[in-house]
Amino acid sequence: MNKPIIAPSVLSANFANLQADFEMLNNSEAEYIHIDVMDGVFVPNISFGFPLIQAMRKLSSKFFDVHLMIVEPDKYIETFKEAGAENLTIHYEASTHLHRTIQRIHLAGMKAGVAINPHTAVNLLEDTIADIDLVCLMSVNPGFGGQKFIENTYDKTSRLKDLILKKNAKTLIEIDGGVSLQNAKKLLDSGADILVAGNTVFNSEDPLQTIHQLKNMLK
């Protein structure tokens, strides 16, 4: 089994000293940098805009995994590409024409991700799974960091893995919310490929070591 991809969520970073946190990430075993974009409409919180993502892009050459928690994501696909996104994840719940949006993300030159909220069933992706590069399973209700992990996520991950195998797709499974050193191995055993970790990394006394532990959880 391959080692997991670790995607620290910069929503938990120190914005008074972002450069230091990015230097830590650049020296870490994390492959992705996870960036949450929230509009205060789709979720009850507001986060990064384009100028901040562009500024982050200058601080790191790591893979930018941008997660849109916004309404009408289609309006901004090309703008996020220009800002430096390499994967663009949109929410199933915010997309009226999911297949078309996935095609547009690919056409813009990015990988296409689809996120689903805790209440959304994985079988709703059955008709599009082969076109999706990454499914982001929300293991907390989206909007705020530091929430309690939803235990049903293990079973949901297994069901999504079964769907991917059934459809002979190459889709990766990403878990976002409440990922910790305590639940990471069980998530990976359930079929997860990518672990998004915010507070677990940035609130750690030794973030580099925490990332290393997550990365080598399957040893």
Determine which one of 21, 39, 133, 176 is catalytic: 176
What angle, rounded to 10 degrees, do the helices at 18-26 and 50-57 form? Answer: 50
Determine which one of 36, 39, 133, 193 is catalytic: 36
Active site residue 36: yes
Quickly list DSSP for 65-117: EEEEESS-GGGGHHHHHHHT-SEEEEEGGG-SSHHHHHHHHHHTTSEEEEEE-
Active site residue 176: yes
In this structure, what token pair is assigned to residue 145? Answer: 């960091």
Quickly list DSSP for 191-212: T--EEEESHHHHTSSSHHHHHH
80 phi and psi, to 5 degrees? Answer: -70, -35
CA distance 209 to 15: 21
Are 29 and 211 in contact by the 8 Å Cβ rule? The answer is yes
Active-site positions?
36, 176
